[in-house]
Amino acid sequence: MPQDALAMLKDGNERFAVGAPTAGKVHQSMRADLNNMGQAPHTALVGCADSRVPLETVFDALPGDLFVLRNATPAHMPRAACLAAWSSAPDGHALDLLLQGLRSVAETA
């Protein structure tokens, strides 16, 4: 459900903000499980390509939790491009988000 996915993102961001992430390292058994399960992320994100803001880290997410597409200026992506990006996300995800930074290097270049 979208509200559950949003709650997970908010909780993860709070953990990141206070310096108490729980995602940790990925172990071999987790990689094997992910390979066998296929993709089943709860959220598809289109966000900024800024190397200082890795979305998986900012939301304290484990591999497989998020389907992330990064673009230098997501706010300027045509609506059709956003829809195409989201349609490439695995079926069954609960939430779609388009994130924009306050000041993009690409926008000021």
Is 105:50 a contact under the CB 8 Å cutoff?
Answer: yes
Q: Is 48 annotated as a binding residue?
A: yes
Q: Is 82 annotated as a binding residue?
A: no
Is 101:76 a contact under the CB 8 Å cutoff?
Answer: no
Is 65:91 a contact under the CB 8 Å cutoff?
Answer: no
Q: Which residues are annotated as a binding site?
A: 48, 50
Q: Which residues are annotated as a binding site for Zn(2+)?
A: 48, 50
